[in-house]
Structure formats: structure tokens, C-alpha cells
Amino acid sequence: MANITLAQAVNQALREEMRRDDRVIVLGEDVGKRGGVFLCTEGLYEEFGPERVIDTPLSESAIIGAALGMAMYGLRPVAEIQFADFIYGGFEQIVSNVAKIRYRSGGQFGAPMVIRAPYGGGVKGGMYHSQSPEAYFAHTAGLKVVIPSTPYDTKGLLITSIRDEDPVVFFEPKRIYRAVREEVPEGDYTVPIGVARVAREGDDVSILTYGACVYDALAAADKAEKEGISVEVIDLRTLVPFDKDAVVKTVRKTGRPIIVHEAPKLCGFGAELSAFIAEREILSLQAPILRVTGFDTPFPLVHEHLYLPNENRIFKAIKKSIEF
């Protein structure tokens, strides 16, 4: 096994699936000779050529629309949106066509395609290169939404997503593209969509999170441990579908759930988790459900370290939950 980064895990998954299945096509802005702005498609153009690694015009609507046409007629396209912030240019295609084609056609057509995009802050990208738009797509029936946090999960979940018969929006936390490394098997393996991972076991407080925030949660859990507080960290891995059994299990175990994500609090995915816990497990609660999130403002450039959930903000929520 090789010790690789999250970005390299993306590349490895794409390369292996393209070798395995000649229906897999990669398309997007600068994905060819440049290898993508984050080099996630580096080397694919040289191996598979311009008919399978397609540099597109700067039009997200065209990228998604072309990918949908490919998917409807038998290919397995993986469309890259250079930054998740630019995905709004293809929003109409995604929510009105990609997500609905199976239902609209009565099952005559499907959309086995993946829409990849680096998302989130932490790279000093300002308001147009740091957004976390996952809730928009979680709200859209017909889409699956996947957000990995480790190289192992990234490769396994991307392979699973490419093989899925329905469209998957695959957000990659770019601030940890090269910040984390992990032993990842070479060759074929999959990670199932809809199954959470227990990143850390604990008994007193539960943190539900995903993406780069997993590492902030783990750091806060380490800090809490020094004060005798045992924190369980659940990495959801996929938002649609999310692992309801894992959420119920941890809430019943600790009775003190905290939800962490980078997106703004208002109507963020944490709101759905909060409602689910309140509906299903309100009698298990020992403290109010807390959310540590981005703020309801545009993403700031200079003060992104204040905007993002961090170890100290999460630790403060842990103490508040314990002291309730």
C-alpha cells in the first residue's frame, strides 16, 4: 500500500476506473494537459487521450449538460467543477435535469454520473473560492451527496460513486487535499454510500461532522480528553443518504450531540440532523443539540480563521453541553 494524499487518492480512483471501464470519461476546465487546478487529474490526459479526458470551455452549464447527455446514452462521465463556488453556473442543469431524468422519463433514462468539486475554506480563497454549498444539493431529490475526509475513503467512495446508477455530487475538502496522508490499497475496493465512520469512540459527547471538520473535531476531542471528557466523533462521509442508524446509536450513547460543518448555520445540513435527532431521539437528550458552523455571512478573506469551526470553538461547545 502507498502512503498518499487525498488529492492523490482522487487521481488513483479515476485512473483505475478509467482503466477498468472505457465508458468512464473525465471532463472539466483544465482537467487535461494541466491536470486540474489541484492536479487531481494529472497524467490522465497522457494515458487516456483527449477523447476521454476532455478540456471544456469555461461553462459549468455546458459541462453538466454534456455530462448528462453522455450518461443518458451509456457513458460514465466524471465532471469536474474547478471550485464548488462555480457550480451555480450549472445549478439549473443539476437540479432540473440531472436529478430528475430518471423520474421524468419513467425509468427509461438514468444519469450514472459524478460531479466532483473542491469545496470549503482554509486556503485563503475569499468568498468565491471557499463556499460550502452541500445543503443545496442535499435538498434536491434525486441526487446523492458524498463528502469524504480521508484518502482511503476518498478513493473508495469515488469508485463507488462512479459505479452508481444515479448522479452523485462529490465534494472534496480542498484544505486537506495535501494536509493528510494515509495508507491506501492499490487496486479495486469500494466504500459504501450511506455508511458513517466512527472516527473516535467516546461516551460523554457526540460530534457529528464531515469533510475537513473531522480533523477539527478530533483536535477538540483531544483537548476535552485532558479535562476528563470523552468525545465520540462520527464522520458521516455521505449526507444523502446519511447513516441514520449511526446517528441514533451515538445520540443514545451520549445524549449530547454537537454538529459541526463549515457552511452557514441557517438551513445548513446541521439543521436537518438536528430535526432528525429531535424527531427520533428527543428523550435520549441530556443537553440541547448544539451546532458549530460557519456564520451567516459571505465567506471572509482576512478572517477565515474566525469563520471556520476550529478546535477552540468546538471545545467551547463541548464544555457547554457537559455543563448544561
Residues serving a catalytic function are 129
Question: Which three cell numbers mark 313?
Answer: 470553538
Residue 208 and residue 250 in contact, taking contact as beta carbons nearer than 8 Å = yes
Maximum alpha-carbon separation in the chain: 60
55-61 — which CB contacts under 8 Å span 24+ positions? 55/28, 55/29, 55/30, 55/31, 56/27, 56/28, 56/29, 56/31, 57/29, 58/29, 59/89, 60/86, 60/87, 60/88, 60/89, 60/90, 61/89, 61/90, 61/92, 61/93
Question: Which three cell numbers mark 269?
Answer: 445540513
Does 241 sit behind a cis peptide bond, omega within 30 degrees of 0 on the bond before it? yes
CA dist., res. 273 & res. 290, Å (int):
11
Residue 85 and residue 131 in contact, taking contact as beta carbons nearer than 8 Å = yes
SS in 3 state form for 239-262?
EECCCHHHHHHHHHHHCCEEEEEE
Place of cell 494524499: 5
Any residues with CB less than 8 A from the CB of 275 and at least 6 apart, and which?
A: none
